[in-house]
Structure 1
Amino acid sequence: MAIFIVLQIINDSIWGPIELSPTSWKIINTPEFQRLRFIKQLGGCYFVYPGACHNRFEHSIGTAHLARTLGTELQKNQPELKITQEDIICLEVAGLCHDLGHGAFSHLFDLQFIQKARPGYEWEHEEASLKMLDRIFEIVSLDDLTKESQTFIKELIKKPKGSYEGRPKEKHFLYEVVANDVNKIDVDKWDYFSRDCHMLGLHHNFQCQRSIKIARVIEHGGERHISFPKSEYLNIFDMFSTRYTLHRQAYQHPANRVVQTMISDAFIKADRYLTFPPNKPKGKSGKTLSESIDDMDAYIWVTDDVFHRIRTLSEDNENVKQAKTILDRILSRDFYKIIGEKKVQFKGEKQKVYLKEKFQYSYGKKNKEQKVLREPIFNRCSA
């Protein structure tokens, strides 16, 4: 007997009518997923681009749609891959849940605030995504997903330190759909490139629908990989060109970087005076903002609403007063001013490209050559 799955439809501003499985709808209708409605996709960029008002909620739904679409196309075009309906549901759920762990103002939280508040503590939002997903698996009945498939979904979201366990080696190409660790071409980027350009009013030429249609799995070096024909290279080039454009005109926009720095500074100053869940005593069931990542009961409350919670705090403490002043300056567009640049030398294997330039010490010593990157220095005093 054939299995018939009724798909419900969402009308998306980028992809039009989107069909999602009942499994995805069960996940969408949970507090863990609904919190994404209150986290801006581009963080502080909304203070620079008024159109950047989209949230992680719609991006996650779009990514789920593209993951299902790519999996379905591969299943149809290459039946020898033996992609099952359960595989496709897993891809869809992974696309849906890959950003569950984002904190307030998206990457500002993990890349700026947590690094300053807990120096030396290594944490990525994907870790919180997996913890949130565990909560969903506990409260929602997902009878169509085996324990093996639940493991597979987690591995699709964050690559495990050891070997893959969710699917056998002949299906390891599926790990390149949502978060491609091989060449960074994946449905997550396809959605946010298209969505961010649309909301920011930026032009782009990349068409991921074409790439989905002509994608094929081929074997190379004894392993299977999702690949594209040579004729597709210009479209793929446009994808990376779009990424560059978004970084240059939006993600790394000087005003955006200033706003992100100011919000991060306010979070740091108010950290110890905020508790999550709200109104819970600190030290018992309540966690500070920086501690919330250790407890999902607390972290589920960490959304962009933190911005306004700080503005409602009592000014009994000088740090709170300074935090509120910083946020008030953002709302009155009294931004930090860039007064110079410092040169940062990165450590670790991941950063291998440096800007090499000569500079002279301000006290008159001779030029010294060093591998550096420019980092702006802000004047944090009000005008």
Structure 2
Amino acid sequence: MDVKPQRVRDPLHDLIEFSTSPFEQGLWHAINAAEFQRLRRVKQLGFSELVYPGATHTRLAHSLGVFHTARHLANHVRRLLGQSAFDEDRCEIALAAALVHDLGHGPFSHAFEVAMEKIATARGAKFEKRHEIWTADIILGNTDIGARLERGIGKENREAVAILLLQETPTDLYSGIVSSQFDADRLDYLRRDRLMTGVSHGSFDYSWLLANLEVDSVAFATDGENYATVDSLILGNKAFQAAEAYVLGLFHMYFAVYYHKATRSAEKILSAILVRIGQLVLNGKSSATGLEKSHPLVRFLSDASLGNYLALDDTVIWGSLPMMMQADDNHIKELSSRLLRRDLYKAFDVAEHFKSRGGAASVAKFRAALAEANKSGAFEEFEIFEDSPARDPYKRRGYDSPDALSKVLIRGSAGGPYQDLSELSEVVSALQKRTAYRVYASNADAMTKLTEIAKGVG
């Protein structure tokens, strides 16, 4: 039978093609596995569509885009190194990892993980099942996609893909394509999320960055003495402004889109619903949740097996809300109704309120005053949620560990030595970690109490 190239039409990349090579045909076969197709039912931006109606793209679309972008980067590296120096095996491991890197995301990823952590903590257990670990379990487990990957890339490479995705920092040039401060994941989601939300934030010149991409040996040193060198991606000097725009764009997208107050309010509501359902299920009172014992969410909370986890996705949650609205538990009934109707808690932006009124010191006083008010029962009738999303715009790393491969390295001048972008750019070096602090109130009376506490602080 003739093998044909397979193509996917993508709103960001236009055509994403899987060639007739055995490797890419193997990846195409893996895409059709049940675990990968599940990503069609997990949205990339969770609740962001409540703010940006166009943001309905899925983690499946993003995963295909990350593979496509990683292949762009890898092909560029191949040209720079030459075929004889290029490691095809490690490249294939990186490309496969790029494709399957999001397999382990649960429904409404962030909100779900927060809820599971709270449930585990309440039981005195340590929360260990981050989505990266679920991803590795899916790849290595007795799964459809695990079997397909093994047939396509071999058993050893299947295991190597899981290991790569569990790494917190890159260890070589090829793993840096998948996970670093300048990786295929960020290069896809920053452009894709900007396109689908319709915002103007986050713009940068991807083509120019790629055109100025180089490979150089990064030296690691301790006490001034080099002990190892590793090849890494470097940007040429002409990409200086584009590199600045990339770092700034990523930073701006977090607070304009990912940490939007309405999105975070919806996440807080869902987390509260899941925590309450978890409490009832674990106490043998699942009937009060409005869900049947056979419901995927109840099954997972009763038995957190891989199979039960894979039965969960965004559509399961959305489809369950009408049932939860019939729950005997008033908390679940109220919150599920609000989420379905988009009747979100309103945000009191504490950090913004005190920006010109004492800054961090006043925020700390507000936190203390709010804690006292909670102790005294001031908010017993009115539920509130606290939220402190934070973003470090650029993690500055030393050269005494492989963490240095996570840097954005750039030439100081044409043909000159590379440096960390933060050492060359006054803009990047001036960026500071930003932490928002908001309190979400369930009604006007609760908001009035929060305003009174703020007035008391000054």
1:211: Cα distance to partner? 2.4
Matches within 5 A, 1:222-261: 222-261=229-268
Bigger Rg over Cα: 2
Structure 1 window deviating more from structure 2 (234-243 vs 135-144): it is: 135-144
CA spacing shift, 1:362–1:287, aligned 2, 3 Å:
closer
CA spacing shift, 1:226–1:339, aligned 2, 3 Å:
closer
* Corresponding residue pairs, total: 341
The one of 5, 15, 30 equivalent to 2:13 is 15
Is 1:357 the counterpart of 2:419 in the alignment?
Answer: no
1:324 aligned partner: 333
CA deviation digits over 1:156-191, x for unaligned, max 9?
322079xx9xxxx8xx211101111xxx11010000
Task: Tell me which protein shows more helix as a share of its residues.
Answer: 2
CA spacing shift, 1:210–1:154, aligned 2, 3 Å:
farther
Matches within 5 A, 1:68-87: 68-79=71-82, 82-87=85-90
Is 1:194 the counterpart of 2:191 in the alignment?
Answer: yes
TM-score, with length taken from structure 2: 0.67
Is 1:269 the counterpart of 2:276 in the alignment?
Answer: yes
The one of 50, 64, 89 equivalent to 2:92 is 89
The amino acid that maps onto 1:317 is D
2:206 aligned partner: 208
1:200: Cα distance to partner? 0.7
Query: Does the 8 Å CA contact 1:63/1:188 hold for their aligned counterparts?
Result: yes
CA spacing shift, 1:150–1:332, aligned 2, 3 Å:
closer
The separation in 2 between residues aligned to 1:246 and 1:146, in whole angstroms, is 38
CA spacing shift, 1:143–1:336, aligned 2, 3 Å:
closer
The separation in 2 between residues aligned to 1:362 and 1:91, in whole angstroms, is 50
The separation in 2 between residues aligned to 1:132 and 1:256, in whole angstroms, is 29
Matches within 5 A, 1:1-383: 7-20=5-18, 21-79=24-82, 82-110=85-113, 112-119=114-121, 120-134=126-140, 135-136=143-144, 138-140=146-148, 142-159=150-167, 172-180=172-180, 184-203=181-200, 204-221=202-219, 222-271=229-278, 272=281, 273=286, 288-290=299-301, 294-304=304-314, 305-313=316-324, 315=326, 317-318=328-329, 321-339=330-348, 341=350, 356-358=360-362, 360=365, 375-380=437-442
The amino acid that maps onto 2:212 is I
CA deviation digits over 1:335-356, x for unaligned, max 9?
21235749xxxxxxxxxxxx74
TM-score, with length taken from structure 1: 0.79
1:149: Cα distance to partner? 1.9
CA deviation digits over 1:23-52, x for unaligned, max 9?
211111011001100111111111111011
The separation in 2 between residues aligned to 1:382 and 1:291, in whole angstroms, is 37
The separation in 1 between residues aligned to 2:76 and 2:194, in whole angstroms, is 25
2:394 aligned partner: none
Query: Does the 8 Å CA contact 2:27/2:152 hold for their aligned counterparts?
Result: no
The separation in 2 between residues aligned to 1:42 and 1:141, in whole angstroms, is 27
CA deviation digits over 1:201-225, x for unaligned, max 9?
1224313233233322211212221
1:329: Cα distance to partner? 1.3
Q: Which runs of 5+ in 1 are unaligned?
A: 343-354, 364-371
CA deviation digits over 1:293-340, x for unaligned, max 9?
x4111011110122322432584531xx42232122123332212357
The separation in 2 between residues aligned to 1:85 and 1:115, in whole angstroms, is 39
Query: Does the 8 Å CA contact 2:105/2:131 hold for their aligned counterparts?
Result: yes
**Identity rate, percent:** 22
Q: Which runs of 5+ in 2 are unaligned?
A: 19-23, 220-228, 352-358, 371-433, 446-458
CA spacing shift, 1:160–1:154, aligned 2, 3 Å:
farther
CA spacing shift, 1:330–1:146, aligned 2, 3 Å:
closer
- Report SS of the residue matched to 1:177: helix
CA spacing shift, 1:92–1:7, aligned 2, 3 Å:
farther
Instruction: Name the Cα RMSD after superposition.
Output: 3.2
The separation in 1 between residues aligned to 2:79 and 2:218, in whole angstroms, is 21
CA spacing shift, 1:382–1:362, aligned 2, 3 Å:
closer
Query: Does the 8 Å CA contact 1:68/1:91 hold for their aligned counterparts?
Result: no
The separation in 1 between residues aligned to 2:144 and 2:37, in whole angstroms, is 12
The separation in 1 between residues aligned to 2:191 and 2:42, in whole angstroms, is 19
The amino acid that maps onto 2:48 is C
Structure 1 window deviating more from structure 2 (47-56 vs 322-331): it is: 322-331
